[in-house]
Structures are given as structure tokens and as C-alpha cells.
Amino acid sequence: MNKRLLVFLLLFVTITSFSQEKDKYKKVVAQFEAYYNDVNFDAIYYMYNYKVKRTSSLGKTRTFFNNLHRELGPIDKIEFRKQIDQSELYKITFGSELRDLEIQLDQYNRFSSFELTYHKPDGLTVLERNITKMTLPFNEEWFVLWGGVSKKENSHHTNEKHKYAYDFVIMKEGVTHTQDGKINEDYYAFGKDILAPCDATVVEVITGIEDNIPGELNTEQVTGNTIILETANQEYIVLAHLKHQSIVVREGLFVREGTLLAQSGNSGKSSEPHLHLSLQNTGNMNIATGGKLFFNRIYVNEELKQDYLPIKGDLVKNRS
């Protein structure tokens, strides 16, 4: 066979196959939109393949889409954004709200993966690390319960927005509390002053959330009482699980390094009093990507370190 003809035929088959694949996805997405707008959530469930049904029962599917429809209303339009490996990513417009839908279809045109998330705009800058010089946001010596760049060192590692986050506690003689640890006041970290780690502007304050009883979790308000700071370099610092009614700053306020912000607490998805600290690329926690947070000059296990990223097991404190 002529080589040029062979190349042409292969190209034709490839283009035809791609076009058929696109048509397949287009029809399934249109069917999903119709079912959703008709409030036929059972039909959406039956668009799942067995793998998705194992993780999302009919009851869970009904609840999820009922809540979504009540909160956002009907779908105005669905637009293809891009292909990601074997999946396709779409942008869904619900009135003024946007969401991203990433799907993959099996050989029977059923959803083999289905993930609806907050819309992440194209071109959102990802921070590798901080440029702004940071101090630790507390006095005294604290213990790094979770921190570092690997899953072994950091339980946050699989969460994109908190990938390099820290959890700090105060440890004395190998424990974080006195007595039996059944009340927050037993914990050394509870009520400790939390300070601004650098000059920054307060861009978000979440408050009004009660502290948990130790061992219990608030899964509805994950970060609990929270402050988000924006540096002059458009870096966003999240300080979370703060003590109920302890926040003393407001949104829009410019604060200097060392300014009192709040006290450490046990609010949100927190099993004991501690401080969650992380760096992210946007003030919107729903679409953020985490970055590595280094500290300028701090003591680590009683040794002075410069431009240091603490890891699990470190004892850290500021230079006095």
C-alpha cells in the first residue's frame, strides 16, 4: 500500500474515532443536564456504573443533588473546557454560580468517574513557596505534629489546598495536655496567643464557631474559626481552628508582623486544640492550591535555622 495513503487512512481513523468519542460525551452530558433540570435524580444515579454506585448510593445521590438544586437552582449551560488524560472537564453555569464537572465514561457510556467541584479559573497562579519573610505565629516553643513535603511527614499531603500545611501543638514530656485531656483547658496549646507571621492584610474572618469537646469533630465547618491574611506578594496565609470569640481583627485591617490576631482553639474539624497554618495561592479556600511555607530565622530543636521548612517532629520557636 502506498505510504501516503496509509498515513492518510490512519489519520482519518484517528479523527473519526476522536469525533465519535466527543459525540458520545456530548450526548451523555446533555442527558445529565436534562435529568438534573427535571429534578430526576434517580435517573442520574442510573447513569453511574457499578464502581461509582459503590461510593454513592441512591440515597446519597438524591440528597446531594437535592441540596445542590436547592442551593444553586437549575443548570443554565454546560461548556466543554478541556481533556484531562482519559477524562473530560466541563464548566457548569448555575445562574451566577459556576462549578467544574470532571467525568469519564466506560464502554457502555456510563459514568465511571463523576466529580463536581468549585470552578477553578484558567491561569490561576500556583505558588511553589513563599517570597515574603515569615516568623512563626506564636510565642514559646511548639511541636510540629504534621509538617513536611511527603505523605509520611504530613497528613495533609493528599489535599491539594492544604498539601504543605502545618499542625502545631505544645508538647511537654511527650504529651499535649495535663489531667485526662477531656476538656480543652487541659491542653497546653488552648488559648495561646496567635500572631501575624508577617505584615499583611486580613482578607477573611470566619467566626462564631464553638470549640469542640476534645475527641469530637465539627465536619460542617471544617476550618473552624479562621483568619486569612494576604501579603504584599499575593500570598495567602490561613490560620485555622482558632478559639471561639478570640479573634480580635476584622476584614480589611492591615496588620504588622507580631500583631495579636486571636488565640489557638479547637474549632472545626479538630480533635484537640492546635493551630493549623498553611500557604495558598488564593483567598478562596474552595479552589486554592497549597504552597510550601518557609520561615526566615527560627530555632529548630534549639538550633538556629534560616529559610527553613519545619517537618513532623520538630520543636520550633522564634528568635527572641
Q: Are 227 and 239 in contact (CB under 8 A)?
A: yes
For residue 85, what pLDDT is reported? 87
Structural domains for the chain: 3-118 (3.10.450), 142-318 (2.70.70.10)
For residue 124, what pLDDT is reported? 87
Spatial distance between the Cα atoms of 117 and 23, rounded to a whole number of angstroms:
24
**pLDDT-flagged residues of the chain (< 50):** 9, 11-18
For residue 12, what pLDDT is reported? 45
For residue 245, what pLDDT is reported? 98
Beta-carbon count within 10 A of 176 CB: 20
The distance in angstroms from the start CA to the end CA of the chain is 81
For residue 14, what pLDDT is reported? 46
Q: Grid coordinates standing for 39?
A: 429534578
For residue 22, what pLDDT is reported? 74
3-state secondary structure of 263: strand
Instruction: Give the ranges where the chain is alpha helix by DSSP (H).
Output: 3-37, 41-45, 50-55, 58-72
How far is Cα of residue 157 from the mean position of the Cα atoms in its chain? 11
Sort 71 into a burial class: Cβ within 10 Å, 0-12 / 13-18 / 19+: exposed
128 Cβ neighbours under 8 A, 6+ residues apart: 291, 292
